[in-house]
Amino acid sequence: SQKIEQNSEALNIQEGKTATLTCNYTNYSPAYLQWYRQDPGRGPVFLLLIRENEKEKRKERLKVTFDTTLKQSLFHITASQPADSATYLCADMGHNTNAGKSTFGDGTTLTVKP
Amino acid sequence: DGGITQSPKYLFRKEGQNVTLSCEQNLNHDAMYWYRQDPGQGLRLIYYSQIVNDFQKGDIAEGYSVSREKKESFPLTVTSAQKNPTAFYLCATRGGQGPNQPQHFGDGTRLSIL
């Protein structure tokens, strides 16, 4: 079955370093991957997305890559700050026969220490 | 104020009781979704609706029911058949059908068993 997996449950880094989060997909090829941020007790908030034929996408301190050979997307936060501490989710919104049927990974909880 | 309103924020269910979670949106979005989130885990899709008067089962629909009689509203009923209903429930909308369209989330309803 189609799966999205985020390898790390938790990632702890020092302020100012770059955080790198991983999202792997198996048994299919998503047309896009989306990344969301979720704070405790709140709904996720969309951050950015990348198309399968784009190598890289940037937005301020955020960067996303899409590697169809490795079947993987990486999400980077440069110059990380304690305010970046949250859970980050990757997601596919479905396409073709599964149009509209969304799939989310389990998320990676990032803690940035001052 | 545009957005998605979920109510109530906290809900308690007695054994054998059905409860209904409300989700209302004024974003004029066609698609609406219900997810369940258990502690430390990602989002699992319960039901989704891409248009009024139509909805599809997600990955964990058993024990739940929905209706979509109005574009603005997508209530979720947790029936007594759902034996483990304690979780955080999130409602989302999406403005378009394409896989590049992000989801917008409400702030959730936390359901507990009395």
| pLDDT band with cut points at 50, 70 and 90 for residue A13 | very high
Chains A–B, number of C-beta pairs less than 8 Å apart: 74
* A52: pLDDT strictly greater than 80: yes
Contact A34, B104 (CB under 8 A): no
Q: What type of residue sits at position A46?
A: F
Mean pLDDT over all residues of chain B?
93
Between the alpha carbon of residue B102 and those of residues A2, A66, B46, B83, B92, the distances in Å are: 20, 17, 18, 32, 10
Contact B89, B64 (CB under 8 A): no
For chain B, the C-alpha Rg in angstroms (whole number) is 13
- Interval B46-81: pLDDT, tens: 999 999 999 999 999 999 999 999 999 999 999 988
Check if A45 contacts B (Cβ < 8 Å).
Answer: yes
Question: Does B81 or B105 have the greater pLDDT score?
Answer: B105
Least confident of A73-77, A97-101, B38-42, B88-92: A97-101
Query: Which residues in chain A have their CB less than 8 angstroms from residue B48's CB?
Result: 100-102
DSSP for B24-66? EE-S--SEEEEEEE-TT--EEEEEEEEETTEEEE-SS-TTEEE
* A100: pLDDT strictly greater than 80: no
* B2: pLDDT strictly greater than 90: no
- Among B41, B42, B40, B55, smallest CA distance to B23 is for B55
| pLDDT band with cut points at 50, 70 and 90 for residue A97 | low
Q: Do B42 and A31 touch (CB under 8 A)?
A: no
* A43: pLDDT strictly greater than 90: yes
Check if A100 contacts B (Cβ < 8 Å).
Answer: yes
Contact B89, B76 (CB under 8 A): yes
Contact B78, B63 (CB under 8 A): yes
Question: Does B2 or A78 have the greater pLDDT score?
Answer: A78
